Amino acid sequence: MTNQDGPNRSPNGSGSVWVHRSVKYGLYGAVLAGVVGGTAAFATSGGTAVTLVVDGHTTKVDAQADDVRGVLKDAGYHVDGHDIVAPSLDTAVSDGSKIVLKQGRLLHLNVDGKPKDVWTTAPTVAQALTQLGYSPANFVSVSRAKRLPVDAATSIALRAPKDVVVAHDKKSQRAVSTARTVGELLKNLGVTLDSNDRVTPSLDTVVGDGLRVRVQRVDTKRVTRTEKIDFTVKQVDDKKMYKGNSKVVRNGKEGTARLVYSVVYVDGKKTRQKLVDRSVVADPRTQVERVGTKSRPKPKVSTSHSSGGSSSGGGGLNWDALADCESGGNWHINTGNGFYGGVQFDEGTWNSNGGGKYAARADLASREEQIEIATKVYNARGSSPWPVCGSRL
């Protein structure tokens, strides 16, 4: 038998066969040197016709050795405790003998985060996992169809299915998943996230059996509102107007402001808001009022009740004294402050007590007509309608 180096087995030829074997084995940290066999050509005369079946591949050889160990050695195969050979290595061979060799493969497994080294004689990942008792439902980091080399270890990560519950978008979703992290779990379930959403526990949390995940949708919206701006009042002294009287010469007007809030909603419920902008849309207009600063004249002193009653009218009450205090004695005054005539009727009081039969406002009626209505008010309410000047009556 002669050996030649070469990377491939050649198909059967007339009188010879090419077999190549390069092996490195490691078991739990120990590395055994493999024997790199070359291509062996066997003479067709003087040998024993033997069939070799190595990992399912059949080759016929003319063996010069007397036993199984020798035939495999001559063919370039180093057999150790991780390989399976039938018949045993010490079995004698004869014409027509059949030798079956299943070579061991080292697997570096990582099962749910725990490392583990195992040996298998299965030629593919799928067959090896079945042989080792792992469920087809497990996650496998490499293709199950991958063929396992005999001259190098293969690293495989496995994850068993986990029962999980994911609460999101107003529903609770139960699932069985082999995802490694919460982030992978949500992606596999089609639960999309944006940068504002909250996930508990965090996306890099390792998935364990019974894990409960909560996804909260967080939206931030800008909300615009308007608010009124109160106007101010400016008072201007008026020397021609009696103290206690005032007149609005320019009405005030409220302004408007625009407020922009950043509002945060969690699963549709508002949780907080923050004012981010405020601008004035319309300025308020200041109200201007004239305020009297003129002192009222001192009341005239009446020498007798009878004369006072005849001069004033109204049942002995001194209406002229009241008019002097209220309006400076001007029975037809209209300052525009909402009070009219000598005793300063407002329109409501004037009309509700029958003044409308004489004139629309008191300043348009005669002195005597005003005294008639004032007497009616006095009889009903006393001097209370004239809290400052009522004592002059």
Question: pLDDT grade, residue 89 (50/70/90)?
Answer: very high
| Structure tokens, 107 | 């697997």
- What mean pLDDT, rounded, does the chain reach? 84
> What does the block give as tokens for 392?
């002059």
- DSSP letter string, 144-201: TTPBPPSSS-EEEEEE--EEEEEEETTEEEEEEE--SBHHHHHHHTT----TT-EEES
Tell me the pairing of strands 97-102 and 48-54. Answer: parallel
| 333 contacts 294 by C-beta, under 8 angstroms | no
Least confident of 44-53, 158-167, 278-287: 44-53
- In this predicted model, what pLDDT tens digit does every residue of 205-219 receive, in sequence order? 999 999 999 999 999
What backbone phi and psi angles, to 5 degrees, belong to 12?
-60, 135
In the chain, the percentage of residues whose pLDDT exceeds 70 is: 84
Q: Is the pLDDT of residue 8 over 50?
A: no
* Phi, psi dihedrals of residue 165, rounded to the nearest 5°: -130, 125
Q: Dihedrals φ, ψ of 323, to 5°?
A: -65, -35
Residue 47 to residue 256: CA distance in whole angstroms: 111
| Contacts (Cβ under 8 Å, ≥6 apart) of 151 | 22, 23, 24, 34
* Predicted local confidence at residue 243, as pLDDT: 86
What is the number of other CB atoms lying within 10 angstroms of the CB of residue 251? Answer: 10
Model confidence at 115, in pLDDT bands (50, 70, 90)?
very high
Residue 26's pLDDT band, with cuts at 50, 70 and 90, is very low
Judge contact between 82 and 150, C-beta under 8 A: no
105-159 has CATH 3.10.20 classification = yes
Least confident of 18-32, 308-322, 350-364: 18-32
Which tokens sit at 27? 């078991």
- Asked if omega into 201 is within 30° of 0 (cis), the reply is yes
Is the pLDDT assigned to residue 30 strictly greater than 50?
Answer: no
CA distances for 97 relative to 45, 51, 62, angstroms: 17, 6, 11
Poorest-pLDDT segment among 34-43, 84-93, 339-348, 379-388: 34-43
**Domains of the chain: which residue ranges?**
2-102, 105-159, 167-216, 220-292, 296-392
Cβ-contact 180, 112 below 8 angstroms: no
Instruction: Tell me the pLDDT tens digit for each residue of 36-67.
Output: 233 333 334 468 999 999 999 999 999 999 99
* Encoded amino acid at 144, one letter: R
Q: In the CATH scheme, what is the homologous superfamily, with its name and number, of domain 220-292?
A: Resuscitation-promoting factor rpfb. (2.20.230.10)
Mean pLDDT of 181-185: 95
pLDDT at residue 244 tops 90: no
pLDDT score for 366: 93
% of residues, the chain, pLDDT over 90: 70
Tell whether the model's pLDDT for residue 15 goes beyond 60: no
Q: Do the domains at 105-159 and 220-292 have one common CATH topology? A: no
CB 144 within 8 A of CB 126: yes
| Cα→Cα distances 102→13, 22, 58, 122, 273, Å | 24, 15, 12, 8, 71
Residue 124 sits at φ, ψ, to 5 deg, of -125, 165
Average confidence (pLDDT) over 193-216: 95
What pLDDT, on the 0 to 100 scale, is given for residue 35? 28
* pLDDT, mean of residues 181-199: 95
Q: How far apart are CA 364 and CA 377, in angstroms?
A: 18
Q: How far apart are CA 38 and CA 261, in angstroms?
A: 80
pLDDT for residue 300: 54
SS3 319: helix
Check residue 310 and give its pLDDT. Answer: 38
Exposure letters 350-371 (e unless 16+ CB within 10 A, then b): bbebebeebbebbbbbebebbb
More confidently predicted of 34 and 382: 382
Predicted TM-score (pTM) of this structure: 0.46
Q: How far is CA 305 from CA 302, 312, 313, 321, 390, in A?
A: 7, 10, 11, 13, 17
Q: Pick the most confident of 241-255, 264-278, 314-328.
A: 264-278
The answer to whether domain 296-392 has CATH 1.20.1280.50 is no
Q: For 34, which DSSP code? A: P
CA-CA distance, 92 to 66, in Å (whole number)? 6
Structure tokens at 89: 């290595």
Q: What distance in Å separates the CA atoms of residue 67 and residue 72, rounded to the nearest whole number?
A: 9
Residue 131 neighbours by CB under 8 Å, 6+ apart: 120, 121, 122
* C-alpha 50, offset from chain centre: 73
Tens digits of residue pLDDT in 93-108: 999 999 999 999 999 9
In angstroms, how far apart are the furthest CA atoms of the chain? 173
